[in-house]
Chains A and B, each alone.
Chain A
C-alpha cells in the first residue's frame, strides 16, 4: 500500500469564504494586496500595476522575472504555489510590444495574480523560465515557444510541442502569420510528400535502444548527413 497524505486545504491561511463576483468594475476594483507588497519588495523592478475587471495585473521588468517569481513562490506571506497559466499576447498594431503573461494562484490565501512583462520586438524574444519554481511551466513554456517563438532561458527541454520539430513556417500565433499558414497549399503538400515516413524518432529516442544500427541503410545515411527527424 502507498503512504497516506495529509489533506491540504485551499484557503488554509484563514481567508474569508469567497463568493461569486458581481458588478465587477471595468477598472479600479479592489486590488490584490500582493501588488503593493511586491512594489515595496522590488522598487525598481515593478513598473506599474492596475486592476482590470477585478483582476490585478503587475507589470515587471524582464530582467527581474526570475527573482520576483521566486519571491512570490517562497515568501511565507504570499505562497503563490500554483501556476495556472503561462502565455503571451501580441497586439494587432505592430508597435505595441509582445507581453508574456503568468497567471498565478495562491491556494492557501485564495489569491489570483496576473504578472506581465513586455518584450520589444526589436530585440530577441527572451524571458527567464520559471520551470525551476513550478514544474507546471514545462509544457506551457514549450507551447508558448512553439506558438510565439519566445525563448524561455533556463528551460531544460525547449522544443516545439504542438507543431512538429521540422516545422519551418514560423510561429503560428504571431500576428504576421496568416491564418492559412505561410506556405502555399502546394508547398505544404510538397513538403508533406517529401517527408520520410520512417523518420518518427528523434536522435535522443534512437539512442535509447541503440536503435540506430537497426535502421535501413538509406535512413542511416540521411541521418549521418545531418538530416534531423522526430516530431
Chain B
C-alpha cells in the first residue's frame, strides 16, 4: 500500500479434485488461454434490450441495506439509471434530546448513535466537551483513550468486513471476523462492564481505570489478531470472485471525493491522504508511528484494501500505546467536573454537597462553542457543541460521516448493475443509527 502503485494478481481457485487426486484448478477470471479477462465486463455482456424502465425498491427491511436504508432504483434492464435513497426510519432526535441533558448525561446517547464505534464516540464526545470546559486530560487518560479508540476501530472494521463478505457471498470470513470481535468485546467488558453500549468516558477522564492484568489480555489480542487479518487477507485479496465483484465499482476520483465531503476509508481509497489523526491531531496521535493507507483507484476493492491495512495500523498503534502507558491518575484534578470520591462524599459534608450539586445541577462550561473532529472508523466524526453558560448545551450537533458518505451513493451506483449496488452500498460502511440519529 502506501503511495506505490498496486497490481491485482488474480489467483486460480480450486474446485474439487482431478483424476489423479490433485486439486483441480480452474481459472475464475482468466480465459482458456490463461489470459486475464477484463474484470469490468458489463459493457460487453449487457444485452441490447429496449423497453420501459423498471422501478425497484430495496429496503427498508432488507438485510443487505445494513439497517433501515431504503433505495428506490430506476433500472434499464439490469443497469441502474437512477438511485433515490430514503433515510430517516431510525430517527430518534438525538440532537434534540442532547439539548435537555447535562454533558455527562449525553455520553450514553453517543453509544447508541454509531453503535459499532460506541467507545470511540464516547472518546470523541468527551474531547469536545473538555475543549468547551478548557480541560487538558491526564497522560494516562490520553493513552487509555487511544487504546479505546483503536479497539473500537478494529471492532467497526471487523463488522464491516464480515457483513460485506456476506453481502458479496462469502460466509467464512464473517465468522473469523466476528470471533475476533468477540475477543475485543470481552476486553471492553472487563474494562467498563458493558460490551456494546460502553459509556466509558466522562468529562475530564474515564468512568473506570483498566483493571489489573487487563494489559496482558490486550497484549494477547495484539499478538493473535494479525494472524486473523492475514488469514482473511489470504482468503480474499487475490480471490477471483472477490476481485471480480469489487474492482471498478463505485469509483470516485480524488476531486469528486473531496467535493462530495467523503471522509475516512472512502476518501483515502480515492487517493486522498487525509486522516484527522495526522492532519488535525488529537490525543497525541502525532507522536505515534503509523501509516495512512491510500488507494489509487477509488473503487470498492480499494476501500477493502484500505480498511484491511487500517486494521494492521491500529494494531501498531495499540502496541505503542501499551508500551508507553504511564502510571498516574486517570481523571483530571478539577473540581468543576470530577466527582469527589465516594468515601469522602458519604463522610464529609462539603464533599457531599459538592457531589450533590455536581450530579443534580451538572458542570457548567463557560459560554462558547467547539467543534472537535476525530477519525472514526467511518470517517471524520465531529461534535459541535454550543454552550450558553448553563449545564446543558444549546446545540449538540453530530457530524455524521456515514450520512455524508451515503449522500454520494446516487452518483456511485449510476451505470452499475443491480447486484453491484449491494457491493457499493456495503463499501460505504454505513450505520443507520448514525445516519438517522
Contacts and interface: CB of A to CB of B under 8 A. Distances in A.
Interface of A: 1-11, 17-27, 52-55, 57, 81-85, 87, 89-92, 101, 103, 107, 110, 112, 114, 134-140, 143, 147, 160-164, 172-173, 177, 179, 200-201, 204-206, 208-211, 231
Contact of A161 (B87, B259, B278, B366): B87
29 contacts: A1-B248, A2-B247, A2-B248, A2-B297, A2-B299, A5-B298, A7-B273, A8-B271, A8-B274, A18-B286, A20-B281, A22-B136, A52-B370, A55-B370, A84-B373, A85-B384, A87-B395, A107-B272, A107-B279, A112-B280, A135-B261, A136-B262, A136-B404, A139-B403, A139-B404, A179-B97, A204-B84, A208-B55, A231-B88
A1 B40 contact: yes
Contacts of B279: 10-11, 18, 107, 110
Interface stretch (B219-227, B250-258, B317-325, B355-363): B250-258
B23 to A, nearest CB: 28
A114 B371 CA distance: 9
B254 A164 contact: no
A209 B51 CA distance: 10
Contact of A84 (B5, B256, B286, B380): B380
Contacts of A114: 371
B88 A163 contact: yes
Chain B contact-residue range equals 35 or more
A4 B302 CA distance: 11
B294 A7 contact: yes
Contacts of B370: 52-53, 55
Contacts of B86: 231
The secondary-structure label for the interface of chain A is: loop
B265 to A, nearest CB: 15
Given A9-B273, A179-B96, 15 more contacts: A2-B251, A7-B3, A7-B272, A11-B279, A20-B281, A22-B136, A24-B134, A27-B368, A85-B371, A87-B384, A136-B259, A136-B261, A137-B261, A139-B403, A177-B96
B260 A135 contact: yes
* Interface core residue of B88, B260, B261, B278 (most chain A CB under 10 Å): B261
A146 to B, nearest CB: 8
B326 to A, nearest CB: 16
Contacts of B404: 136, 139-140
A208 B74 contact: yes
A162 B52 contact: no
